[in-house]
Structure 1
């Protein structure tokens, strides 16, 4: 589950707005606890929703209480207040026990980097806990072996109204990934609106003024800006120490080259319908070759870092902070994870987020992945599969609220504590990340000048922004994102006005048999080929060879399997 240095959008929204937006996992060095130390769980019975559905509900407390066993993916970056830990002595376990009458015990816990391997062993041994988080591939195995409960009626009966609204409006692709023959066999760990991860273009507007250029509105203008930033001393220090465009050799997250590729209507790593109605792997289309051609020229001309092929997120961040680069692609996350450090280094710098720019008269549409990395399942025969939904409802209500206005949210208690010093939300055995409504709520209140109707959490943000002028770097992020003429949140809000504006992967089947066997090798071949082409270590002819070789080495068969799935699910 390692996601490199990509910082999840929802984590940053939490830091900026004291509410959450999306999820991700990191890694740490924690050792697993001894397996098999869980308390006995409920025993098999007839469908509990049929027994209790009429009187039971999304937050009904079990009386008498129940016990359940689960698994835990520990996160090395998380820290907790004194007296709390990953074990069952933290505030989330207390809240779940006190509110829902559920006593959660860990069957095992392990570092996130080892979680999938540990889960594979658990599945192979058929020693399953009551509930667990699994990958799509593991879910396929469990469903095929008839080892997990059908969650269709459970979701209908127990998902809180706000969660159901979110699934219908923005989380349906994730929901569909858990459908098997029309049955919902798991509850996705919803990762927010896919559009939340769409890239924008960050630009130093003070550098633009220094080189006498306007904000780029086309891709050709972006290249002109990159050339000026690389060659015309944009920082005015009389040194040749800058380059034009910050890019990483990745397809996701801050700094990735996907924003540039999207400008050529190229969408790496996803499946899209062609004119015949068949799904095609978009990395193999002519638009991708056109984009790589332009990047190769930019590299030859010195507009990209000479070490492009080996850069990672931290090195790009260092370049931004040390003022070696004044333009890069990023999500809303980078407004806090990168720009705040850059502003502390140079408070006079001026940054602005722009929408993606296009190579022609068609708008550049950001491509986004399906957001459901994990799925919560209940083992076959567990008496209370609805416990998954009850805990998820509790998580959503405490972190986001009971509705789009944030009613009842207690984010600063159950997500981030002590001004975001401690991250306590990962202690919950079931989590979900839904659409963030809070930027628009606070923004509109600031425009109207009336924050009286905001929930308490958002009213604090409103008051802070209202009282700030952006000169205090401790509050700069919060102030800056509400300046609508420069804010990446405003760019995202404009993206989301049209539900069809972003390009979403049309294949949400998770994995096919040949993908399981060949996908990693093909992905490595794709990445290495593209990087070599950009760095002029391979000719453009290598793109055509890549397309042909990918097809021979499993790509053609994967395409057949994907389209067999598509014929049944479109």
Structure 2
């Protein structure tokens, strides 16, 4: 068990895209960051957009005439399903779109399930028989750059990135861009993963249970613990059985159910690097605030407020508990409104949920912490004649899924991402994908507030009309309706987090991986996981935390810190 382990990147991005659909209806340097983030293109090519110039010119969406063929790799997803007639091979919507719109005929060098993709790519890199373009991890990118096997993508991004994507990179996506810089050169196009702040946690609470136990919404962590005790011991569901517990919590640091929301209440920032008072980066899991938070969780466990099987819980089991009405409070991202809450409503339409901002243990506001992720990195084999094909396909993907600007112009998410009310997921068919900031919630919310959706793009106008015509009783559309109820919406909590760009604590290290991390990180993460779980479950004294900090330092943590700070001195 790895307490730091994230949900696999494709699943995480899939959930992020689902929410977009629903709300829409070694040396590294930053000296080239500004140019790779948005210099002007020769001849004004970047002004081309899908709607203005789908074929002509040498711009971001220009079609190859005659068409070109390229080889790529495909990460298939076991959870994805397609409408009848579409397959993972070339007989699908995205292959046709890319070929018809851009003149690019994609052929798969190989395809494999996501669980085996990284291993298969390692074998491919070792063989030296590389496809024209491919998605690789940061560690694999390091190998390819060191071996001089991939192309400098700086001129590709400068000339071919669509204006909207460049704007996004300048604002919320720059850390991901910097992860692909080597000696000032952009050696890959990051997959990006949207604004890191989009993954910030909120607290989901059943307000009907609060009423049943006679409590108000919690305002502090002390209040939260009082609520957890009442939910565990005062029969909040009124079934006359002792079958509930207080707070749904997982032994993870990211995603729905993770305990990071609670830890943040103690100003503890697990699994990320934060600057200390001297300006040096330190690993958040080793700081004194973490010990205080773990001690409080240990007490809660001893008092029966957490699931007795906390240490072995996973997301699916937490979801089962929430849907089965065994727990009425948990930390989650905005995604859980779609992945958990809608199922709870189908079981009990009278349930009432509200998202709250993180609660603090003292007078200082709780600031949510988030990691930096870039998903995969798209590289072009050294010598491939058309490396810009990566950028063109990503432009097409962003344009169809998110739109050509922050207002969602031209987006066709319900055709090219999630189809038939999210029954089918077709976006994984694309060999290149890019995930940017979702502006859709704010656009529809403001239109609803003003009572005028006439200026919204067609996709968002559909969402506006759906929300206007519903009252929350239609469970088929409940989630889309609920997230626009600003007094309860996790999207509104997220929007409030983002009003202050410095409020969310974002990982200050986005260098990917250091030499010692590659060698020691897995062992250190396992030690961290086991120690924290034992402490929380009262199988170890809280003083084991101090031993963990000391042992981590001896076993590679100190050297990793030195390497991280060497990087930070060059990139801050």
Q: Does TM, scored on the shorter chain, surpass 0.5?
A: yes
In structure 1, the partner of 2:327 is 325
Once the two structures are superposed, the pairs formed by residues 297-308 of structure 1 within 5 Å of their partners are 297-308=299-310
Q: 2:188 aligns with which of 171, 180, 186?
A: 186
In structure 2, the partner of 1:249 is 251
In structure 1, the partner of 2:22 is 16
Once the two structures are superposed, the pairs formed by residues 464-483 of structure 1 within 5 Å of their partners are 464-483=466-485
Q: CA deviation at 1:14?
A: 3.9
C-alpha distance after superposition, 1:326-352 (max 9, x if no partner):
100000111111111111111111110
Do the aligned partners of 2:138 and 2:512 also contact (CA within 8 Å) in 1? yes
Query: In the alignment, is residue 3 of structure 1 matched against residue 4 of structure 2?
Result: no
Equivalenced residues, count:
541
Secondary structure, aligned partner of 2:397: helix
In structure 2, the partner of 1:500 is 502
TM-score by length of 2: 0.92
- Give the Cα separation in 1 of the matches to 2:108 and 2:18: 29
- Give the Cα separation in 1 of the matches to 2:64 and 2:562: 48
- Give the Cα separation in 2 of the matches to 1:52 and 1:441: 29
C-alpha distance after superposition, 1:354-394 (max 9, x if no partner):
00000111110101111202100011111111111000001
Do the aligned partners of 1:246 and 1:325 also contact (CA within 8 Å) in 2? yes
In structure 1, the partner of 2:519 is 517
Q: CA deviation at 1:129?
A: 0.6
Q: CA deviation at 1:4?
A: 5.8
In structure 2, the partner of 1:446 is 448
C-alpha distance after superposition, 1:184-219 (max 9, x if no partner):
110000111111110000001111111111111111
Query: In the alignment, is residue 437 of structure 1 matched against residue 439 of structure 2?
Result: yes
Q: CA deviation at 1:2?
A: 7.8
Once the two structures are superposed, the pairs formed by residues 283-362 of structure 1 within 5 Å of their partners are 283-362=285-364
Do the aligned partners of 2:252 and 2:259 also contact (CA within 8 Å) in 1? yes
Query: In the alignment, is residue 422 of structure 1 matched against residue 428 of structure 2?
Result: no
Supply the RMSD in Å over aligned alpha carbons: 1.7
C-alpha distance after superposition, 1:47-92 (max 9, x if no partner):
xx99997951101111121111110100011111122111111121
Once the two structures are superposed, the pairs formed by residues 86-485 of structure 1 within 5 Å of their partners are 86-485=88-487
Do the aligned partners of 2:21 and 2:417 also contact (CA within 8 Å) in 1? no
C-alpha distance after superposition, 1:126-149 (max 9, x if no partner):
111111000000000111111111
Do the aligned partners of 1:2 and 1:113 also contact (CA within 8 Å) in 2? no
Gaps of 5+ in 1: 20-48
Q: CA deviation at 1:94?
A: 1.1
- Give the Cα separation in 2 of the matches to 1:485 and 1:224: 23
TM-score by length of 1: 0.93
Do the aligned partners of 2:138 and 2:513 also contact (CA within 8 Å) in 1? yes
Secondary structure, aligned partner of 2:305: coil
- Give the Cα separation in 2 of the matches to 1:555 and 1:255: 27
Q: Which of structure 1's runs of 4+ aligned residues deviate more than 3 A? A: 4-9, 49-55
Once the two structures are superposed, the pairs formed by residues 44-59 of structure 1 within 5 Å of their partners are 55-59=57-61
